[in-house]
Homo-oligomer: A and B are copies of this chain.
Amino acid sequence: MSETTTFTGEPFDRGSFESLLKRRLFFTEAFEIYRTSGNLHGDSRGLFDYGPPGSALQNNIVDAWRRHFVLEEDMLEVDCTILTPEEVFKTSGHVDKFEDWMCKDSKTGDFLRADHLIENVLEARLKGDKAARGVTNNAEEEDAKVDAKKQKTKVKDIKAVRLSDGEVQEYEEILAKIDNYDGAELGELVERLEIRNPDGDNKVLPPTPFNLMFKTTLGPNSASPGYLRPETAQGQFLNFKKLLEYNQNAMPFASASVGKSFRNEISPRSGLLRVREFLMAEIEHFVDPEGGKKHHGFNEIKDLRLNFLDRDTQLSGKTSVQNISIEEAVRKKLVDNETLGYFLGRIYLFLLRIGVDNSKLRFRQHMANEMAHYAADCWDAELLTSYGWIECVGCADRSAYDLTVHSKKTGEPLIVREPRPEPLRIEEWQIDINKAKFGPTFRKDAKAVESALLALGQAEREELLTVLQQNSHITIDVPGVPDGKVDVSRELVKFEKRTVLQNVREYTPNVIEPSFGIGRIFYSLLEHVYWHRPGDVARGVLSLPLLVAPSKVLIVPLSSLPAFVPIIRKISQNLRRLGISCRVDDSGASIGKRYARNDELGIPLGITIDFDTVKDDSITLRERDSTKQVRASIDEIIASIKSLVDNAETWDDVFERLPEFISQGGEDE
């Protein structure tokens, strides 16, 4: 476990944190009653259910995302299907390339993700070496601290064994670039370093690829394989032509989508961080590849200073960041272009807006082998958690990869056509067809043959001209005719180079793709906002901002007095009418206990109804983080809440404006 601290500077205690999330039902393992009763026989790990506060927090993060990106930037949101026929993912490359490498335990038959296995074993060896050298007294203790980020198999025993200095250096270098190995390299490492399954110490078989997509069958006929999408992107690409039309052919533009995606992880671990089903929010920004990929909003974000961890630094085995402005990063070509830089800035602003701790945020560039098969460049927004640095947002330049492959497969031009300000003069090989003889020669195939000829590229035309100068005919491929080939004799066609004016420019847009893993953001954010009251580890608080808090206001009546009932109803109805979610806690627990519950749910504001309320219509308003309270009339308090929710006032403003209320018994009464 990485040793992280809460923002109050105390050590982060994952045990208390997880116990809070469980107690308050933020999320839970799915099918838990089946699991604990021994009724699940297969591998159903990596699946989680969100309880009421978790579901509300997730919805609020998604809403904030929609406002920040879709609404503010006028993106075209779409909702495409999860189920996708095989043909689409064959073209996109996912059927062939979307895989991890796994090693099978030679005896138990268990599958282990190869890179995680190697990482795990080498880290254990390095720890054993430290123990043998006396650097660490207690190898077991070291083991407990193992950075669990990569969902490793558990290391049962650290053996105190000395390594040579050469071995230590080699292992450390391998670990620094573990994400950068392909299957053959992983196999070589397993063999040479004698990697075994730490769980049982059995030999493992050489790594084999495992496709991460879930497969199923569409319809009653088994001849229709389909997959659950591993990303929302492909649906957006397939609709590119329609979206461009919908956008009245204006470029650049972005589509966006929020929805579930699925990856059949070999060995899901670490709670919400490596799961098989997850909510994604993805943007596909389509941009002209020429002209340096400028962005009209660049000025608004260029001065933001981000923590950048580039590719070269990582390849040299280091993890030090540069804190520089986006403008400087783009100028230095650290970040390739303005559009990529713009989105890094917008991602940064979004994460801070929902409550992420800036000191636990960095932008890390992918190394070459680590990138997805379609990416030209990629930066991850990573959040520091007790599991280490976690990739929460990817921002990839997918270049023209996807539109090009789908266009090629379907014959549908996924391109932009723009009038040129000045017509372009180009020389090109043109084909003249002798219409008078062409029809009678080919009869019903004439049209297909003509289309096939006109579809020939410039290089092919030049080549065929050479053939025609030596032979009496050329042979060309014509789909749909017998044999698929046709001979065209010399008197039917003429190839000639001519100068033509092009008034229209055609290009395939490049795609910049900011892709958000909502579950990972959700979990990391909760770690960032978690702390406890001074001196009391048991009194945890989640300092979620009003914007995303599961509920905005807790209403606490001091007793179950019947006179309170209409007051509670009035307050909650008024709040709901303003679109402000609230919760009533009329349990018999003490005020202090109820506020503590409230703190654990991350509800920022609390209203107390007491005996004076019945007399003078006054209520108190408590702020979660400071536990300070003010007192005023119901209407005044509700107006203040509205103004806090709308971000028109801060709590300090309200606290200054309204009289402070000091409760007699304090919080713990």
Once A33-B241, A87-B40, A239-B51 are accepted as A-B contacts, the answer to whether A217 and B214 lie under 8 Å apart by CB is yes
Interface string of A228-272 (1 = CB under 8 A from B): 100000010011011101101000000000011010111000000
Q: A39-B409, A87-B39 are in contact. Are A44 and B111 (CB under 8 A)?
A: no
CB of A464, distance to nearest CB on chain B (Å): 26
Residues of chain B lying within 8 A (CB to CB) of residue A39: 87, 409-410
Q: Quick check: is A218 within 8 A (CB to CB) of the other chain?
A: yes
Q: Are A33 and B412 in contact (CB under 8 A)?
A: yes
- Contacts A215-B216, A218-B42: A34 and B410 contacting too (C-beta < 8 A)? yes
From A111, which residue of chain B is reached at the shortest CB distance? Answer: B220
A-B contact pairs, 20 of them (CB 8 A): A28-B242, A33-B238, A33-B406, A33-B412, A34-B238, A34-B409, A34-B410, A36-B410, A42-B223, A42-B224, A42-B225, A49-B80, A55-B77, A74-B584, A82-B260, A83-B214, A83-B262, A214-B217, A216-B216, A219-B264
Tell yes or no: A180 within 8 A of B by CB: no
Interface pair B51/A243, CB less than 8 Å apart? yes
CB pair A242–B412 under 8 Å, yes or no, is: no
* Contact A28:B220 (CB < 8 A) given known A76-B52, A277-B81, A409-B39: no
Residue among A66, A84, A219, A260 with most chain B CB within 10 A = A219
| A:36-92 near B, CB below 8 Å | 36-37, 39-45, 47-52, 54-56, 58-59, 66-67, 71-72, 74, 76-88
Set of chain B residues within 8 Å of A246, measured between Cβ atoms = 24-25, 51-52
CA distance A194 to B644 in the complex (A): 72
* Chain B residues whose C-beta falls within 8 Å of the C-beta of A31 in the assembled complex: 84-85, 87-88, 238
| Bound CA–CA A5/B300 (angstroms) | 52
A75: nearest residue on chain B (CB-CB)? Answer: B52
Q: How far is the CA of A220 from the CA of B213 in the complex (A)?
A: 11
User: Interface range on chain A: under 10, 10 to 19, 20 to 34, or 35 or more?
Assistant: 35 or more
Q: Does A352 contact B (CB under 8 A)?
A: no
Q: Choose among B37, B51, B219 the residue that contacts A42 (Cβ–Cβ < 8 A).
A: B219
Q: Is A587 on the interface with B (CB-CB < 8 A)?
A: yes
CB of A32 closer than 8 Å to a CB of B: yes
Tell me if B219 and A33 are in contact (CB < 8 A): no
A77:B48 contact, CB within 8 angstroms: no
Please report the C-alpha to C-alpha distance between residue A372 and residue B33 in the assembled complex, in whole angstroms: 24
The closest CB in chain B to the CB of A58 belongs to: B79
Enumerate chain B residues within 8 angstroms of A570, measured Cβ to Cβ.
none
CB contact between A242 and one of B51, B225, B410 (< 8 Å): that residue: B51
B residues near A72, Cβ cutoff 8 Å: 576
A50 touches B34 (CB 8 A): no
CB distance B49 to A77 under 8 Å?
A: no
In the assembled complex, A411 has its CB within 8 A of some CB on chain B:
yes
Cross-chain contact B28 with A239 (CB below 8 angstroms): yes
Contact A30 B80 (CB under 8 A): yes
A50 contacts B37, C-beta separation under 8 Å:
no
Among B49, B414, B579, the residue within 8 A (CB) of A235 is: B49
Decide yes or no: A85 and B44 within 8 Å by CB, A25-B246, A102-B220, A248-B587 being known contacts.
yes
Complex alpha-carbon distance, A109 and B221, angstroms: 9
The distance in angstroms between the C-alpha atoms of A34 and B77, with both chains bound, is 22
- Known pairs A217-B214, A239-B49; A82 contacts B277 (CB<8 A): yes
CB nearest to A77 among chain B residues: B55
Indicate whether A81 sits within 8 Å of B242 (C-beta atoms), given known contacts A87-B39, A216-B214, A581-B71: no
Given A83-B277, A210-B220, A225-B42, do A30 and B235 touch, yes or no (CB 8 Å)? yes
Cβ-defined partner of A45 (8 Å) among B58, B84, B216, B219: B219
Query: Residue of B at shortest CB range from A576?
Result: B71
Chain B residue at smallest Cβ distance from A48: B81
The answer to whether the Cβ of A520 comes within 8 Å of any Cβ in the partner chain is: no
A606 located at the interface, meaning its Cβ lies under 8 Å from any Cβ of chain B in the complex: no
A52 to B527, CA, bound (A): 35
A40 contact set on B, CB distance < 8 A: 85, 87
| Contact residues in B for A394 (Cβ distance below 8 Å) | none
Let me know if A127 is at the binding interface, CB within 8 A: no
Instruction: A579 to B221: give the CA distance in the assembly, Å.
Output: 48
Q: Are A224 and B34 closer than 8 Å at their CB atoms?
A: no
Query: Which residues from chain B contact A260 at a C-beta distance below 8 Å?
Result: 82, 259-260
Starting from the known contacts A36-B410, A42-B225, A49-B81, 14 additional A-B residue pairs (CB-CB under 8 Å) come to A25-B243, A25-B246, A31-B84, A34-B87, A34-B409, A39-B409, A42-B221, A43-B218, A52-B243, A82-B260, A82-B262, A83-B277, A214-B217, A218-B276
Known contacts A40-B85, A215-B217; is A50 also within 8 Å of B30 by CB?
no
Q: Quick one: which of A24, A78, A409 has the most chain B CB within 10 A? A: A78
* Nearest CB in chain B: distance from A496 CB, A: 32
**A30 and B260 alpha carbons, distance in the complex (Å):** 17
Measured CA separation A216–B263 after assembly (Å)? 12
Partner of A221, one of B43, B78, B581: B43
| Distance A72 CA – B575 CA, assembled complex (angstroms) | 11
Instruction: Answer whether residue A602 sits at the interface, using C-beta atoms and an 8 A cutoff.
Output: no
**Chain A contacts with B in 74-132, Cβ cutoff 8 A:** 74, 76-88, 102, 109, 111
Provide the residues of chain B in CB contact with A235, threshold 8 Å: 30, 49
Decide if A226 is an interface residue (CB 8 Å cutoff).
yes
- What residues of chain B lie closer than 8 Å to A49, measured between beta carbons? 78-81, 235, 238-239
**Which among A34, A220, A259 has the highest number of chain B CB atoms within 10 Å?**
A220
Q: Which residues of B contact A223 (CB under 8 A)?
A: 41-43
Chain B positions within 8 Å of A243 at CB level: 25, 51-52
**B43 engages A56 (CB within 8 Å):** no
The docked-state distance in angstroms from the alpha carbon of A226 to that of B59 is: 27
How far is it, in angstroms, between the C-alpha of A224 and the C-alpha of B277 when the chains are bound? 16
Task: Knowing A71-B576, A214-B83, A214-B217 are in contact, say whether A50-B78 is a contact too (CB < 8 A).
Answer: yes
CB distance from A29 to the nearest CB of B (A): 10
